[in-house]
Amino acid sequence: MRNLNNFWSIIVVLISFIMLVFHVITNTLILTSSMSYLSIHLTFVLVLLFILVPATKKGIEQDKPTFIDILFALLSIVFGIYVIYGYMKLDYVASSGSTLDIVMTIIAVSLIIEAARRMIGPAFTILVLIFVAYPFIGGLPGAFAHRGFTLSRMVTIYYFGPDGIYGVALRVSAFYIYFFLLFGAFLTKTGIGQYFIDMALSLTGRFKGGAAYASVLSSGFTGMITGSAAANVVTTGTFTIPLMKYTGFKDYQAAATEAYASAGGYITPPIMGASAFIIALWLGIPYWDVVVAAIAPALLYYLGAGYSIYIFSNLNPDIKVMKKENIPRLKDVLSKSIFLLASPISLIVLLFLRFTITDSVLTALVVAIITSYIRKDTRISSLKGFLDVSKEASIMALKITPVCAAAGIVIASVGMTGLGIRISRIALSLASYNVFLGVFLVGITCLVFGMGLPAVGAYVLVAILGAPALVQMGIPKLVAHFTVLWYASLSNITPPVAIGAYVAAGVANCNVYKTAWAACKMAIPAYILPFFFVLYPKIILGSLYEKLIGIILSSLIIFVVLSGIHGYFLVKLRNWQRFLCFVITVILFFIYAIILK
C-alpha cells in the first residue's frame, strides 16, 4: 500500500471513520434497504482501495493516488449511487437492460475485477474473467455447453440480481465480516495479542520446547479473534518466532510452527474468517452451528502441532527450556489483564444464546471499549485511538470485500449456466461415487485454487463446483462444506505459494520453501483428517459423547502419522519402524471404516 502524504492520509482516516459510523448506525438506529446498504459498503471499500493500493508495484513509491486512481474512486461512487437509485426505482424488480444499465454494469464489474487484481493478484483476476466471459459463449462442447446469455440478461443477474455482485458473499462481508474486523482491531489496540502470548508462555514456558507450545496456544487464541493466517503470523509471530530461535529451534522450524499454527485461524471458532459466515448463509443454518461443528476439528488441528513440537524437542538436543526469569507468572498475567477476556467471552456467550451475529459483535465491542478503561495502558480514550481502529478495520476489509464481490460474479455465472451441476456430475463420474476419492479430488482442487487465491476465494469456488458432488455421495452438507473450508485453510501453508509460510519466513529471515515444506510435514495429519470426517461425520455433527469418540480415534491417526514422518515415538525410529507407522495408519482407517458404519 502507498505511504500517503498528510492530505491523503487524512482523507483515508475520514472515509474509514465515516464507514465505521455508517455501519454501526445502519445496524442499530437507522434501518436501510439491504441493497442500498450493500452498495454503500462496497463503495466505501472500493474508494479506499483505489486511493491506497496502486495499480503496479512501482506505484507504492507514490505518496498520493494517480489521476486514474481518483477516476476509479469517483466511478465507484457513481455506480454505487446508481444501484441505490435503480433499486428504489425498480423496487427490486428485474432491470430493464437499458443502455445505461449495461454501461453501469460494465463499469461495476470492471472496477471490482481491477480492485481484486490490485489486492489479490492476477490468478484470481483471470479466473473471474473466465467466469465473466463464460455465460456469453454458447455452443461449447460437452459438459461446458449452454444456450448462451444476452448482455441485457447479464445486467439483471450481475447488477440488480440477489445472486450476483450483491449476493451472499458480499452480504457476509457487509453484515458480518466488517464488524468482526472492527472487533479484532479494537482488541488488538487494547493489547490482547500480547496478553495471549504472556498467558501461553506462563502455561508452557517451563517445558522443553515451551516457546513453540506458546506459539501454538497464542496463535490459536489470536486466531479466534482475527480469523486470518497472515494477520495471525504478524500479531504473534513477531514475538514467538525469535523466542523459538533463541531457545534452540532452527529458523525454518520456528517459522513453520508459527505458519502452521496461524493457518488454523480459519477453522478456529468463533470467527473462522469469512468462509464460516458464508457456510451459515449458504446452508441456511445458525452461525453457532458452524462454530460448534468446528470445535473438535480445531482441537485436532492444534493437537497435531503440539505433538510435532514434542518430537522436535526430543530429536534436537539444542532445544532448551526457557530461563525462569523470562517466563511470566500466571498469577501476574491473570491479575494484570484478565479483564481483556471479558469481550471475547461475551461474544461467545451471546452467540451461544442465539443472538444475531451483528448484535453479538456490537455488544462485545461495547464491552471491549468499557473494559479497556480498567488499565491506562489498554485504554482507548482518545479520538486518535478510535480513528486508528476504524482505519485498521477498513484496511483489513480491503483484503476481503473485493474477493466477496467478485465471488458473487462467479456464483452468478455458475448458477445461470448450470455449470455447477455438470461439474458435480463429472466429479461423481471420476470418483465413481467413492467418497474417499471424492474428498481427494476436492482437496486437490482446493489446494490448487488456494495457490493464487485467498482462502475465502478458494472456498467459494470449490464449494460451488465440488461440495454438491460430495453431498450427492451421501456426505452431510455441513461436513462437505467444512471439508472444503479445511483444505482452503491449508492452502496457506501449501507450496508453491504458501502465503502464511511466506510471511513467517520473512519474520524468521529464512528460506520460504524450506519453511513451507516443514509446515507441510507438520500438516500431513491435517491433510488426512477430512477423510476421517466423512467416515465419521458425528465428529462434526454429533453429540458431545460422539465428538469425544471421534477425537480419541482420530488422535491415534495423528500420533502414528507424525511419528512415522518425523521418525520418533518415545525413541528415535528406524526406517522400517517409520514405514510400519504408515501401514498402521492404513489399517486404522480400514478398522474405522468397519466399526463406524
Same domain, 122 and 193: no
Does some domain include residue 579? yes
Same domain, 109 and 181: no
pLDDT of 449 reads: 76
Does some domain include residue 218? yes
User: Computed from CA positions of residues 23, 113, 499, 443, in that sequence, does the dihedral angle turn out positive or negative?
Assistant: positive
Same domain, 181 and 131: no
Does some domain include residue 269? yes
The C-alpha cell 502507498 sits at 2
pLDDT mean over 292-305: 91
Give the residue from 127, 161, 195 where a domain finishes. 161
209 in helix, strand or coil? coil
pLDDT of 113 reads: 92
Same domain, 111 and 180: no
The C-alpha cell 465419521 sits at 536
126: domain range? Answer: 6-136+152-161
Does some domain include residue 43? yes
Same domain, 156 and 187: no
Same domain, 82 and 205: no
Please report, to the nearest 10 degrees, the dihedral formed by the alpha carbons of residues 301, 306, 309, 310 taken in order.
Answer: -140
Same domain, 363 and 328: yes
Higher pLDDT, 423 or 563: 563
Higher pLDDT, 501 or 158: 501
Q: Is the pTM of this model over 0.85?
A: no
Does some domain include residue 412? no
pLDDT in tens, 226-266: 666 766 787 778 888 888 888 888 888 889 898 888 888 78
Same domain, 179 and 156: no
Q: What are phi and psi of 2, to 5 degrees?
A: -70, 150
Give the residue from 161, 196, 222 where a domain finishes. 161
pLDDT of 93 reads: 46
Same domain, 117 and 190: no
Does some domain include residue 428? yes
pLDDT in tens, 71-82: 999 999 998 888
Does some domain include residue 469? yes
Same domain, 113 and 197: no
Confidence of residue 478 (pLDDT cuts 50, 70, 90): very high
Please report, to the nearest 10 degrees, the dihedral formed by the alpha carbons of residues 270, 275, 276, 279 taken in order.
Answer: 170
Same domain, 132 and 196: no
Same domain, 81 and 107: yes
Segment (H or E) for 299 = helix 287-315
Q: Largest Cα–Cα distance of the chain, in whole Å?
A: 75
pLDDT of 97 reads: 61
What percentage of residues in the chain have a pLDDT greater than 70? 93
Task: State how many domains the chain has.
Answer: 2
Does some domain include residue 142? no
